[in-house]
Structure 1
Amino acid sequence: MSVILCDIDHFKLYNNSYGHQAGDSCLKQVASAIGKSVRSGELAGRYGGEEFAVVLPDADFKTALSVAERIVSNVRALDIPHKSSKTCNIVTLSCVIATRTVEDGSSLDLLI
């Protein structure tokens, strides 16, 4: 099992620059792009303010990395302007991956 956590880069600056209604629209577009990046049986949802979680029940690290790369690419393809970003002039995501195997015996809480 793998979990991908995604965070919109510099989202507070986005909200400050464009306003909360634009921020809500951005969140919806990013959520849609993430949803289109996962396959049947994989779960994607909002995890916090500008954070998203993707649960891949049968994925090893390599598979999860491929999904994370697809997510990042699909969000970049939205080409949402972000004039206040410290890293890019469009909205981008940062992702982390955690993978758990049956053999390692770690709990799901530890995975998150």
Structure 2
Amino acid sequence: MQRQNQGMAWEIAEINVGDEVSITVTVLKLLDDGRATVSIPSYGFPYSIPAPKKAKPGDELQLTGEVTRIDEDDRKVTVKAGGLVTVDVDAISDWTPVPRKKTVLRDEPD
């Protein structure tokens, strides 16, 4: 089940560790080593990614990664996308929950 953000914030209570999320980033500058510096919404640090072919400054790209931490009080999510990036839940542009097994927890007689 894949969900698209339709201009509204995700319900942070629905997002779980291990889910896959995407963040829309903007290319700021292409570097000589085949990387691009990008701007990540609500992330106040420099970040670079491998530059896709034909990328140019101003292009919007999808940075996809796995959720590693959720802070419901501050409405922030940490995503492992190369390195760890902590962003506001509103910065998530796409979200795919990971299928989970429902396990019944009960004691079995010996």
TM-score, normalised relative to structure 2: 0.30
TM-score, normalised relative to structure 1: 0.30
Asked which structure has the greater RCO (Cα within 8 Å, sep 6+), the reply is 1
Higher strand share: 2
